[in-house]
Amino acid sequence: MHRGAGTGTLDEQRIDAVPRLEFERIAGELPSARLVWHGAPPPLTTLIEVFSALGLQVITHEVSGDELRAVHRFTFRPTAFLLHERTAELIADAFLAAVDTAVEVDGLIGLVGTAGLAWQDVVLVRAACRYLRQVGLRLSEVTVTEILSAHAEFVRAFVELFHARFDPARTAGRAGSVAAADAAVQRRLEAAATLPEDQLLRGLYTFCTAVLRTNWYLQGRAVAAFKVDPARLSISAPVTPYREIFVHAADVEGSHVRGGAIARGGLRWSERGDDFRTEVLGLMKTQTVKNAVIVPTGAKGVFVARRGSDPATVESAYSAFIGGLLDVTDNIVDGVTIPPAHCVVYDDHDPYLVVAADKGTARFSDLANGIAVSRGFWLGDAFASGGSRGYDHKALGITARGVWCSIRQHLAELGIDADAQPFTVAGIGDMSGDVFGNGMLETDRILLVAAFDHRHIFLDPDPDPLLSHGERRRLAGLERSSWADYDRALISEGGGVWPRTAKTIPLSPEVRDRLGVTATELPAPEAIRAILSAEVDLLFNGGIGTYVRGSDEPDTAVADPANDEVRIPAARLRCRVVGEGGNLGLTQR
């Protein structure tokens, strides 16, 4: 059995320029694999890792030929399945895809052997499981893999139901095929003997029935996109959006959620790979309030770049994410709403999709508009607000200015003229951010004594208002700046900048006096809690996350686990005014 491009054999003079994987029988029941490369093969550790993930225990390894015409012969024993001819072909395909990094190598790839799936169908199962874990499935990846491996018949039935529902080529008798596949899945649900099994299998079933359209069958797709009605899921979150588009690929993942059919909101880059959906649901809820006087409701999108955080990687992930959103969105041509040609559609016309700039995407508006224009999307360069042909959200500082109208009023009621009298501030954010960066430039009377973001802790116990204002303005104009770029010569005695990863933060007498603590050093989380509870005139939130909870609320109720270790109860607040420029900095309670 032979997989891969080319038709050559070992007896021929020519060896193909691409890898081939062949299975052959040797003495007894033990199968072996022959791998043929033109040129240097991947590292042996990579090959062994892939074989292991596929459920093949390597027994021996022999190499023949020269460096340019290497022949690798492995003997191995399947650990959890029988190696039939069809299974061998599926494994060969999956092996080559894994070596070529076209598919992720994890426990789920073992379903190729245990469930007899093509590797593309494993990607489908993985996408569904990743989404369910974002929604609220509290099972580890190891547990998910163990359950699915033990329920191979269910997995095959799930895949068949998905294809019956969404394969555009299966037009004849679709209703009957879907009904039969649905019944098969439900029969196999009865095999779930434990609560975790039932949660996972039922979750997968309802995922399949909650999907309204997908780009899965689009030729040349860069990502898999699933438009979902979350109300149909068996697993629910505290907030249930009207519609959601979940995008999945090896290098990018994310969700776009809407509170209604006509909803506006930004799209941001997140570093919360494990719970970005929690982040985006909270942001959608806040955006809905913000939009009350503009459009009916709010929307929000968030994506994570899974293969790096350098600018080029993030931009590539953003482009792929945008493409996935548009793949499952209707267009309007000459006044007529047209669904995507590759989609089997289970919902009504739904052409309204906009993406504004947000955290990490401020410079991508032209890119998003360019993608929309190139696809002929009806909104054209109005698809993404901002850019060279629209309002520059960050440059105008719209959100920050609105927040400061409230802050000035609150301070005035306390007898402080924010434009004439110095006042102390503790901050959440950094100068590269839209809200924080613009907010900290609203007046040169700010005494920013402490601040933090996800990277650094900044302490300046006795700042000069004019000098510090000028330095903040410099940082605001610096591309992708951080507190680490702050001129140390302008920081007052005893202050400084420390990374969040530091084991401890030294606290000078000046800082201890400013924060009201006695410890000479604190772990970074404790230092942040001291900043949040500092006795200042203003606590200004221009960042991301929920940092203050009700005194009777547990951290688990906040749904922001990334900040559990730095969050404080409201009773510890000693500021006179809270300026909420970010989103959900404090819980409702």
Q: Which one of the listed residues 300, 359, 394, 503 is annotated catalytic?
A: 300
pLDDT at 13: 32
For residues 585 and 565, give the distance between their C-alpha atoms in angstroms, rounded to a whole number: 15
Question: Homologous superfamily of 123-395 in CATH?
Answer: Leucine Dehydrogenase, chain A, domain 1 (3.40.50.10860)
For residues 497 and 462, give the distance between their C-alpha atoms in angstroms, rounded to a whole number: 14
Q: Given a cut of 70, is residue 67 above it in pLDDT?
A: no
pLDDT at 423: 98
3-class SS of residue 448: strand
Nearest residue to 105 via CA among 95, 115, 114 = 95
Q: Given a cut of 60, is residue 28 above it in pLDDT?
A: no
Q: Given a cut of 70, is residue 18 above it in pLDDT?
A: no
Q: Sign of the CA dihedral 265, 267, 269, 272?
A: positive
Catalytic residue list contains 300? yes
Mean pLDDT for the stretch of residues 549-565: 90
pLDDT digits 0-9 by tens, 427-472: 999 998 889 999 999 999 999 999 999 999 999 999 999 999 999 9
Strand partners, 568: 548
Question: Do 245 and 225 meet the contact criterion of CB atoms below 8 Å apart?
Answer: yes
pLDDT at 3: 41
CATH classification code of 398-580: 3.40.50.720
Question: Homologous superfamily of 2-102 in CATH?
Answer: ACT domain (3.30.70.260)
Which are the contacts of 7, defined by CB distance < 8 A and separation ≥ 6?
none
Cβ neighbours, 10 Å, residue 521: 12
Question: Do 579 and 407 meet the contact criterion of CB atoms below 8 Å apart?
Answer: yes
pLDDT at 9: 33
Residue 38 corresponds to which amino acid?
Answer: H
| Matching fold, domains 2-102 and 123-395 | no
Cβ neighbours, 10 Å, residue 477: 10
Strand partners, 255: 246, 302
pLDDT digits 0-9 by tens, 219-252: 999 999 999 999 999 998 888 999 999 999 999 9
Domain boundaries, the chain: 2-102, 123-395, 398-580
For residues 79 and 63, give the distance between their C-alpha atoms in angstroms, rounded to a whole number: 24
16 vs 5, 72, 94, 388, CA distance in Å? 8, 15, 19, 49
203 vs 111, 134, 229, 345, CA distance in Å? 18, 12, 13, 21
Mean pLDDT for the stretch of residues 303-324: 95
For residues 16 and 6, give the distance between their C-alpha atoms in angstroms, rounded to a whole number: 6
pLDDT at 99: 84
Please give the distance of CA 555 from its chain centroid, rounded to a whole number.
Answer: 22
3-class SS of residue 39: coil
For residues 586 and 547, give the distance between their C-alpha atoms in angstroms, rounded to a whole number: 6
DSSP code for 554 = -
